[in-house]
Amino acid sequence: MHKLFLFIAAALLNVSLAFAGDLEKGAPGHVVSVVDGDTVTLEDGREVRLVGIQAPKLPLGRRNFPTWPLADEAKAHLEDLGDGRDVEVVFGGSRMDRHGRVLAHLYTAEGAWIQGEMLRAGLARVYSFHDNRSLVAEMLALEREARDAGRGIWSHPFYRLHDAAALAEGPSDNMNGFQLVEGRVLAVGNTRDRSYLNFGEDWNSDFTVVLNKKSRRLFAQEGLAPEDYEGLRIRVRGWVKSFNGPMIEVSHPEQIELLR
């Protein structure tokens, strides 16, 4: 079996072990308000960002920021799940973001994992970081379940999966934002500072995935190298930028899923 598939299988098997060993309980709380589909406020004043997911965004006072499709539905679902409830606050990596929000997994007194329920309903996507990787394998599985069933955002074109070749040729509105992109890695190139997963013949215009030196070290810790992806179909998630064509910079292995 290809070692990339072995890595994914091991991650799935170790979800329960991660909860027992890598996750740590913080001070519990009581949800008094829901900010949007992935953020709540607790009675003690803590604002908790549900780590590992991204729900459709609301403007929240940002000028000229459009409401994403199904943002109101995502907020309403999170209110149903958590508003007015006592919750366990559980950490699996960095505990605070640059905005002062607590980064945590939330569980209700009944044992419901709120991130998981948002993903299962199709009202959030997996949105992980290199310093907060706990339970990402399980979250990806729940996201796939919802996408395969066409629930929530997965029935809306705004959140569609992009083909790497079409993205390179597509309109400018596909060149920015958080996206999921699928395609076959045609070739891998390495320099001293970066590795490039190229999805087309012309690296000046085709879609590319980029790993910097820090990312390569993290991949290497998992026994992975950029060359391992050559010739494989993958799904990559991240912020699409324009640099010699559309590109996504990857910081950790969970941003890349293998497609059979």
Confidence of residue 118 (pLDDT cuts 50, 70, 90): very high
* Fold agreement between 3-154 and 161-259: yes
Burial class (CB in 10 A: 0-12, 13-18, 19+), 220: exposed
Measured from the Cβ of residue 128, the count of other Cβ atoms closer than 10 Å reads 24
What's the rounded Cα separation, in Å, for the pair 180 and 207?
12
pLDDT attached to residue 82:
97
Say if residue 175's pLDDT is above 70. Answer: no
33 vs 45: CA distance, rounded Å: 10
> What gap in Å lies between CA 237 and CA 232, rounded to an integer?
16
Length of the chain: 260
Instruction: Return d(Cα 216, Cα 186) in angstroms, integer.
Output: 19
pLDDT exceeds 80 at position 18 = no
pLDDT at 17 over 80: no
What pLDDT does 173 receive?
58
pTM: 0.89
CATH fold of 161-259 reads: OB fold (Dihydrolipoamide Acetyltransferase, E2P) (2.40.50)
Domain-wise residue ranges, the chain? 3-154, 161-259
Using a pLDDT cut of 70, give the percent of the chain over it: 89
Longest dimension (CA), the chain: 55
Residue type at 13 in one-letter notation: L
pLDDT tens track for 155-167: 999 999 999 998 8
pLDDT tens digits along 211-226: 999 999 999 999 999 9
pLDDT computed for residue 171 by the predictor:
57
What is 3-154's CATH number, 2.40.50.90, 3.40.50.170, 2.70.98.70, 2.60.40.10? 2.40.50.90
pLDDT tens digits, residue range 66-103? 999 999 999 999 999 999 999 999 999 999 999 999 99
